[in-house]
Structure 1
Amino acid sequence: MAATISPSSPNYHASISNTTINNLFDDSLTEIFCKLPCKSLFTCKSVSKRWLTLISNPNFHSLFLTHQHTLFQKTQALGEDLDQPSFILKPYNALVITPNSPSLQLGPLENHLSLSFLGPNFEPTNIVPQLRSVLKFVFACSNGLLVYGNPRPRHRCIYHIRNPLTKDSLELPCALTLCDHAGVLVGFTCDPYYHLETDKTKNAKVSIFSASQRRFRVVRIPAFSDTRSAFDVEVFYSETGKWKNFLVSCPKGFACGFFLTASSVEHEGKLYFMGGGRVLVYDPYENERVASVIELPRGFGEAYRGCLGVSCGTLQLSEFPISPSSAFEAYSGRVWELKHCGKGEETTTTTTTWELVHEFCLPEVVGPGFEELKANESENVKGCSRILAFHPYVRDTVFLKFGDNIICCNLLTRRFKVSKYGGLSLLFYPVIPIVIPWWPTPIPALPL
């Protein structure tokens, strides 16, 4: 047993002065590291091999995430639902959404997540003749990883997987087919690095890490305007490092005409695409040769007014604006939530239905400040309004583009926050929500 030096001992102060952070035990270092932001921990990895080993250990990740979850619950209990950092990653078509967690208090987060590494070929432009060549350079996001590419007509597109926080990236082999002028729908799903479960012995949330052999899929669907019951789909497998083409059967039919504001949504390993008055459901893990569809709600308008997304683990759909026929309706919207009905006596399948959860008018939500927002609209974006995304973990909250502003708005409490957006017009771009996880998702390695 180590001897304890009393504060009254003449050697006490000498002992304290000789103590440095390098003399601390691993348990003490771990306790310190758990209170640091992610970005600081990445820097600490380069200090020494000991620190690198400690911070890279999944056991440390579990302790770190459990600590962050406890702090996150406290902030949620205070009702700070609009205080999380969120912004458009200028000048790219990505909406960054960050949990209000100490692990992601990085200061000016935009500086850490810059995508300038893409180079001049990926710089966005508003020049209409060149629009399609760079239109969907950021295609999709899953568990903090994003897929980007430059789909030029009559060229094979090369896609990249990127972690915008750690700057890690992976280039995929060239896609199988050429890009057509009609466009292409792209989906992406990646196994999570961690998930939270309840520890019944401690009655608390603990972090559980996925197996080291995690997977991801990139899915390409060349666009077509007519309704088809079978169409080609290309799938990239991280396990093999190769693309594979399938003729996919969709008995109820689907039309995936190219929509400027369309993007895929990943939810529980499945991909959802809007098109032709329906939502295509495709599972690239379990059944690559069959797809199904979900009908849009009765009375739903034109697809380009819709936004599909996930909030609090539930698939949601919005329509905004409902109709431009009057000044009032031009700023009205609706939000539905997908409900899974139980299996009936005469069927073995689970049915789904849309439940209307919100009908709103933006002038009523914003109140007296609405006219001021309208008056401050720039001429080139006047009247450009649409819902960009749903808040991933704050129910009833949407991100709405109004002119050259982004409004984060809780449709239930009527609380909102306005952020000025001075980048490119988002009217022509599919906006991809990037939800930053508490701990960055490592990119699964491809086979050699």
Structure 2
Amino acid sequence: MMAPRLKRRKEEGSGSVVSLFPCRKTSTSTSIQQLSDDMLFEIFCRLPCESAAKCKSVSKHWLSLISHLYFIPGYIRHHHQTNGNATQPFTLLLESFGNIVVVPSEFDKKIGVKVVDLLKFLPPASELHIEAAFNDLLLVCSNDSRFWLKNTSVFDYYICNPYTKHWLTLPPLPPMTFASTPLVGFICDANFRYKVVRIHCPSKSSSANNNTTMIRVEIFSSETGEWRTSFVASPRELNRFSQSTMQHPVVACNGMLHWLDIDVYSKTRRNKGIVVLNPQGCHLCYIDLPIFPSGCFISLGVFQGCIRIFQNSIVRCPRYCRLPPRYCPYCAGDDMNFSVWELGDYANAGTWSLKHRVYFRDILSEYPIFNMKGAELPWPVKFIAFHPNDGDIVFLQLLENCIVSCNIRTGVFCSLLDIVSMDVKSVFLLRQPSWPTPIHPLPTKFESPPRLNC
């Protein structure tokens, strides 16, 4: 009875073998529940970030896969290989007395800018300040960390991701008395382990060697969930921190923290070099600067894993006058320029190379106010940041009320942003990677906490 029945179905059907066995159709097809974890992993890595994040709520199994330790690095690696040299979006954060202006990477035309409450998702505080940024993470401190109460410092730090609105409060530091506000650095590795580093003002060692400088360093590690304090000896005599030192941010690059060693007490305001701190082993080293004209202003930055220096030759005259350069014999001249230097061969003490030098007499702009010659150029010119994706673009502040995007290869001002006379105190570059950086909870307190080797 079975054979004729099969034959009749084959004649009446389309001839497909599958059509003869409708009951086997579901057995030969594969449902998504039957996919292996490796296959699901590959599927999730190919989804947009928002879609992959929503998949967490489908089932506990999917949640465990997407929350796995290796998923995010694999997701980022896949999108990097797929997109090739596609640039990541970024945002410039301009901070001034607690107000934050957000400048998106679409920096191609004059736009209106609003002061935004970027940190409103954090616990209420009288005022919050951004201390440092690394990729899409921000290190934020409360208002109390900027003031001294009875010579005792009280610091409250938060690590947050403005894109996901996730945040974490760091354990408080014990109240301690210091003579000055410390520099603060923030760094995160590929496994999303981060360190917050507070660098206190250098002091002379009490040893017989008067050239030895000691630095008090406080490091918070996400691996231990605790602060550790160390005293680090410098290979060279370092200058005490001044207002000029505090105006320059600590730059994170190649797992190290960098800041300028400035001798503000000399007549020429000499920039001596770059101090480098390895937070992993608490070691200091020193990088000498290129030879600059005396009195020039320099700023540190980073471009795609390389330390860069912005050198501005326009300086105030010795009297610190407020006259425009064309009326001041000290500031006027056709040789006014700025330069960009890059440090190569970082692992072997490094070699500086001059990438670009732009003379103001050669600058062109689509805006008539900047089409000037030499001493007629509006003053002052202030460095803002290096473009993270284009090595030829640098952001500058002119006239104290606008920001321009300057192509240092062609000498063309290509964009203008009106900031309404905002006195920019700090600038932070916020990246937007293919997958937001997670903020893992701190470990429970160890009975016997491991100590840093420093």
| Amino acid paired to 1:335 | V
CA displacement, residues 280-313 of structure 1 (integer Å, 9 cap, x when unaligned): 1111102x2x42222332225558x322121122
- Give the Cα–Cα distance (whole angstroms) in 2 for the partners of residues 267 and 341 of structure 1: 10
Closer/same/farther in 2, CA of residues 340 and 5 from structure 1, 3 Å limit? farther
- Give the Cα–Cα distance (whole angstroms) in 1 for the partners of residues 413 and 39 of structure 2: 42
Q: 2:80 aligns with which of 50, 56, 69?
A: 69
- Give the Cα–Cα distance (whole angstroms) in 1 for the partners of residues 248 and 15 of structure 2: 68
| Amino acid paired to 1:279 | I
| CA positional deviation for 1:173 | 1.7
Aligned pairs for 1:34-113 within 5 A: 34=45, 36-46=47-57, 48-49=59-60, 51-57=62-68, 61=72, 64-73=75-84, 75=86, 84-88=89-93, 91-92=99-100
| CA positional deviation for 1:261 | 2.6
Aligned to 1:117: 121
CA displacement, residues 397-443 of structure 1 (integer Å, 9 cap, x when unaligned): 3222234333333322556542525377244x121222332222222
* 1:313 paired to 2:305: yes
Q: 2:254 aligns with which of 262, 268, 273?
A: 268
Contact 1:185 1:221 (C-alpha < 8 Å) held by counterparts = yes
Q: 1:399 aligns with which of 392, 395, 400?
A: 395
- Give the Cα–Cα distance (whole angstroms) in 2 for the partners of residues 328 and 52 of structure 1: 64
Aligned pairs for 1:188-267 within 5 A: 188-193=186-191, 215-223=193-201, 229-255=213-239, 256-259=241-244, 260-267=246-253
Contact 1:307 1:389 (C-alpha < 8 Å) held by counterparts = no
| Amino acid paired to 2:181 | G
Gaps of 5+ in 1: 77-82, 99-109, 124-133, 194-213, 343-349, 376-381
Aligned residue for 1:45, secondary structure, equals helix
Closer/same/farther in 2, CA of residues 443 and 321 from structure 1, 3 Å limit? farther
Q: 2:344 aligns with which of 336, 339, 342?
A: 339
- Give the Cα–Cα distance (whole angstroms) in 2 for the partners of residues 237 and 261 of structure 1: 25
- Give the Cα–Cα distance (whole angstroms) in 1 for the partners of residues 291 and 73 of structure 2: 45
Aligned to 1:196: none
Contact 2:394 2:406 (C-alpha < 8 Å) held by counterparts = yes
When normalised by structure 1's length, the TM-score is 0.68
Aligned residue for 1:252, secondary structure, equals coil
Aligned residue for 2:362, secondary structure, equals helix
| CA positional deviation for 1:218 | 1.4
| Amino acid paired to 1:294 | I
* 1:139 paired to 2:117: no
Q: 1:360 aligns with which of 353, 358, 373?
A: 358
CA displacement, residues 174-227 of structure 1 (integer Å, 9 cap, x when unaligned): 22454757422001122123xxxxxxxxxxxxxxxxxxxx63221112346999
| Amino acid paired to 1:241 | G
- Give the Cα–Cα distance (whole angstroms) in 2 for the partners of residues 364 and 167 of structure 1: 45
When normalised by structure 2's length, the TM-score is 0.67
Aligned residue for 1:254, secondary structure, equals coil
Aligned-pair identity in percent equals 30
Aligned to 1:294: 287
* 1:387 paired to 2:365: no
- Give the Cα–Cα distance (whole angstroms) in 2 for the partners of residues 313 and 234 of structure 1: 25
Contact 2:247 2:426 (C-alpha < 8 Å) held by counterparts = yes
Closer/same/farther in 2, CA of residues 55 and 359 from structure 1, 3 Å limit? same
Aligned to 1:170: 168
- Give the Cα–Cα distance (whole angstroms) in 2 for the partners of residues 112 and 186 of structure 1: 24
| CA positional deviation for 1:392 | 2.9
Closer/same/farther in 2, CA of residues 33 and 121 from structure 1, 3 Å limit? same
- Give the Cα–Cα distance (whole angstroms) in 1 for the partners of residues 426 and 442 of structure 2: 29
| Amino acid paired to 2:353 | E
- Give the Cα–Cα distance (whole angstroms) in 1 for the partners of residues 418 and 178 of structure 2: 32
CA displacement, residues 84-138 of structure 1 (integer Å, 9 cap, x when unaligned): 554436743787769xxxxxxxxxxx99993222466464xxxxxxxxxx7xx21
RMSD: 4.5
Closer/same/farther in 2, CA of residues 176 and 307 from structure 1, 3 Å limit? farther
| Amino acid paired to 1:42 | A
Aligned to 1:435: 431
Aligned to 1:418: 415
CA displacement, residues 352-402 of structure 1 (integer Å, 9 cap, x when unaligned): 34322211135634x143543699xxxxxx845312222334323322223
Closer/same/farther in 2, CA of residues 410 and 228 from structure 1, 3 Å limit? farther
Contact 1:234 1:243 (C-alpha < 8 Å) held by counterparts = yes
- Give the Cα–Cα distance (whole angstroms) in 2 for the partners of residues 5 and 171 of structure 1: 68
- Give the Cα–Cα distance (whole angstroms) in 2 for the partners of residues 115 and 415 of structure 1: 35
- Give the Cα–Cα distance (whole angstroms) in 2 for the partners of residues 189 and 239 of structure 1: 13
- Give the Cα–Cα distance (whole angstroms) in 1 for the partners of residues 74 and 117 of structure 2: 25
| Amino acid paired to 1:144 | D
Aligned to 2:274: 279
| Amino acid paired to 2:171 | P
Aligned residue for 2:237, secondary structure, equals strand
Aligned residue for 1:68, secondary structure, equals helix
Closer/same/farther in 2, CA of residues 53 and 341 from structure 1, 3 Å limit? closer
Closer/same/farther in 2, CA of residues 67 and 359 from structure 1, 3 Å limit? same
- Give the Cα–Cα distance (whole angstroms) in 2 for the partners of residues 70 and 58 of structure 1: 20
